[in-house]
Structure formats: structure tokens, C-alpha cells
Amino acid sequence: MNPYDELVALETDGWRALSADGAAAQEFYGRVLDETVVMLLPGGLRLTDRAAILESMGGAPWASFALEDPQVLRLGEDGALVVYGVVAVRDGAEYSALVSSAYVRRDGAWRLVGHQQTPR
């Protein structure tokens, strides 16, 4: 699988895990999150503690989601930035955002080191 397909699949799998339940999300991101990570989320939320990030994933699951126009920008041999739009629904409310996720390849696997959601 080429890096483009691999990274878009990782982002999609992350949304699937967040759409299942908190345990699935915590299990998925427990494997994917790097030890050093930053998440910038709506409402001015900045998370840098890996354990706190995993704990925050125990909330209500998304009912549906759709990724729009995913693109992968290579940042050298072992880094990449995935950017896309997302429309997701939770508790009957629609959420639309621009998303970016930064990955680094460590020990042969992609690890999430940065994630930002900008509501639109």
C-alpha cells in the first residue's frame, strides 16, 4: 500500500473507531498516537498529554462521518501531513471542520504526532 492510501486509511479508521465507542477509540489511538503529540481542537482546547488525550476519547460516538477531498503532503521520507474536510453527526447535530493530521514513521509504523480541527 502506498503512503497516500495508508495514511487516508488510518484517518478513516480513526473516525470509524470514534464512531464505534470510547473503548474502540482508545484502543485504536493507543496504537497510533506517538509518545509526543499535540491536538488542537475547537474551543481553544490544546492537549499534549497522551494519557489525557486517550481518556478524552470516552465520549459519545459519532453517528456518521464523511471525509472530503483527503490529500497527503509528504514531509520527507518519514513524515506526512494529511488534510481533508469532514462532516460528522453526533447526537443529531452536524459538525463540519477542516482537519490536519501530522504523522511520522517510527519503527515501520505511522504515528500521529499532531492533529488540528478547524470548524467551518
**CATH at residue 34:** 3.10.450.50
Distances (CA, A) of 105 to 5, 27, 58, 78: 15, 19, 27, 5
The mean pLDDT of 87-116, rounded to a whole number, is 96
Task: Report how many domains make up the chain.
Answer: 1
Given this model, what pLDDT does residue 58 score? 79
Given this model, what pLDDT does residue 104 score? 97
The mean pLDDT of 33-45, rounded to a whole number, is 94
Among 64, 120, 63, 114, CA closest to 97: 120
Given this model, what pLDDT does residue 22 score? 85
Q: What is the pLDDT of residues 44-89, one digit of tens each?
A: 999 999 999 999 887 889 999 999 999 999 999 899 999 999 999 9
C-alpha cell belonging to residue 49: 498529554
User: Which residue range is the domain that position 67 belongs to?
Assistant: 3-119
Q: Model-level pTM?
A: 0.92
